[in-house]
């Protein structure tokens, strides 16, 4: 069964999503805000997330899938960058974060 996390502050809309998706066979969890979504993610790893107002939030994918087609797919879907976890040091992750967000002011 595929799992979906929905972060939506409109309770009516969130429940409508949950009911429809549950009837279609998905395991659906609801969060009313980002903090609740983070708490849910501690114990529930979804196959897909529906999030509020996140179009402008950059995403860096950290995965052990390192084939060129995996990386290309992630970037094509809009990721700001793609990290193959097994191949990268923490310092390189920091460099990628700074590249996406801009280096912090000292």
Q: Specify whether the CB–CB gap between 41 and 5 falls below 8 A.
A: yes
**Is the pTM for the entire model greater than 0.75?**
no
Residue 27, classed as helix, strand or coil, is strand
- Band of residue 34 on the pLDDT scale cut at 50, 70, 90: confident
Read off the pLDDT of residues 43-68 as tens digits, 9 standing for 90 and up.
999 998 888 777 778 889 989 999 99
Q: Which CATH architecture has domain 3-50?
A: 3-Layer(aba) Sandwich (3.40)
Residue 9, Cβ neighbours under 10 Å: how many?
A: 13
Read off the pLDDT of residues 71-86 as tens digits, 9 standing for 90 and up.
999 999 889 999 999 8
Over 60: is that where the pLDDT of 88 sits? yes
Per-domain boundaries in the chain: 3-50, 60-101
């Amino acid at each position: 069964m595929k799992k979906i996390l929905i972060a939506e502050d409109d309770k009516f809309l969130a429940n409508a999503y949950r009911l429809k998706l549950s009837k279609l066979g998905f395991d659906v969890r609801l969060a009313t805000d980002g903090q609740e979504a983070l708490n849910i993610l501690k114990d529930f790893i979804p196959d897909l997330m529906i999030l509020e107002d996140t179009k402008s939030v950059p995403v860096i994918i950290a995965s052990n899938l390192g084939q060129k087609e995996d990386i290309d797919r992630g970037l094509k879907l809009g990721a700001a960058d793609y990290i193959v976890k097994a191949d990268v040091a923490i310092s390189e992750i920091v460099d990628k974060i700074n590249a996406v967000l801009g280096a912090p002011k000292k």
